[in-house]
């Protein structure tokens, strides 16, 4: 079962291929690949970020406030309508990222965001996170704004 609620500090760096492989080799001495990387060098992540018509969430984020939040649908791979995805609420407070997510089918996530009404609860969904997302949706009229996909290597 995936972790649904966690805090972490994120640091992102831009580097060239040579620097990446140098760091990767060093990390490999101390870390293991996650389950998705065991048989593949990379795996794909698909994200659909939501914002208001006037981009108020990203505009706020770019101004570097002490608190910011965003909503996205995340999938491992490229999902079809009936595939499992995560609906994620990310908050950043004084540099600490708090990610809260719940699993559901892609079509359910689309409908939840469109209507503000969560899908019927079932095993594998997090009731608390669903309620928080429902509250978030009541505060904003959201629409899909950015699709971001990439390949990654994850280690622990």
In degrees, to the nearest 5, what angle opens at C-alpha 93 toward C-alphas 89 and 98?
Answer: 35
CA 62 to chain centre: 18
pLDDT in tens, 87-121: 999 998 888 999 999 999 999 999 999 999 999 99
Cβ–Cβ contacts within 10 Å for residue 109, how many?
A: 26
Q: For residue 77, report the phi and psi dihedrals to the nearest 5 degrees.
A: 95, -165
Q: How far apart are the first and last CA of the chain?
A: 16
Is the pLDDT at 2 greater than 70? The verdict is no
Q: Which domain covers residue 87, as residue numbers? A: 13-152
Q: What value does the mean pLDDT of the chain take?
A: 91
At 88 the pLDDT is: 97
Domain total of the chain: 1
Q: Is residue 18 part of a domain?
A: yes
How far apart (Å, rounded) are the C-alpha atoms in residues 88 and 2? 13
Please, which residues have CB within 8 angstroms of residue 125's CB and are 6 or more apart in sequence?
A: 102, 103, 104, 119
Question: Six-digit token pair at 50?
Answer: 């939501």
What is the pTM (predicted TM-score) of this model?
0.87
The Cα 76–Cα 28 span in angstroms is: 23
pLDDT band (50, 70, 90) for residue 56: very high
Q: CATH number for the domain including 26?
A: 3.20.100.30
Decide if 3 is inside a domain: no
Residue 40 · residue 154 · CB < 8 Å: no
Q: Kindly state whether residue 98 falls inside one of the protein's structural domains.
A: yes
25, HSE (Cβ side, Cα atoms, 13 Å): 5
Whether the Cβ atoms of residue 155 and residue 48 lie closer than 8 Å to each other = no
Q: What is the Cα Rg of the chain in Å?
A: 17
Flag whether 142 is in a domain: yes
């Amino acid at each position: 079962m995936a972790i649904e609620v966690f805090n972490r500090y994120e640091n992102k760096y831009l580097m060239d291929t040579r620097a990446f492989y140098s760091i990767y080799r060093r990390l490999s001495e101390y870390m293991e690949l996650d389950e998705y990387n065991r048989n593949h060098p990379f795996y794909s992540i698909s994200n659909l970020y939501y914002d208001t018509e006037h981009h108020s969430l990203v505009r706020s984020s770019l101004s570097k406030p002490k608190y910011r939040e965003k909503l996205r649908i995340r999938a491992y791979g490229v999902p079809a309508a009936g595939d499992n995805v995560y609906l994620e609420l990310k908050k950043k407070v004084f540099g600490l990222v708090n990610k809260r997510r719940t699993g559901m089918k892609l079509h359910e996530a689309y409908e939840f965001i469109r209507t503000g009404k969560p899908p019927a609860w079932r095993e594998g969904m997090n009731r608390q996170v669903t309620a928080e997302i429902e509250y978030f949706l009541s505060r904003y009229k959201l629409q899909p704004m950015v699709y971001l996909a990439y390949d990654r290597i994850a280690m622990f």
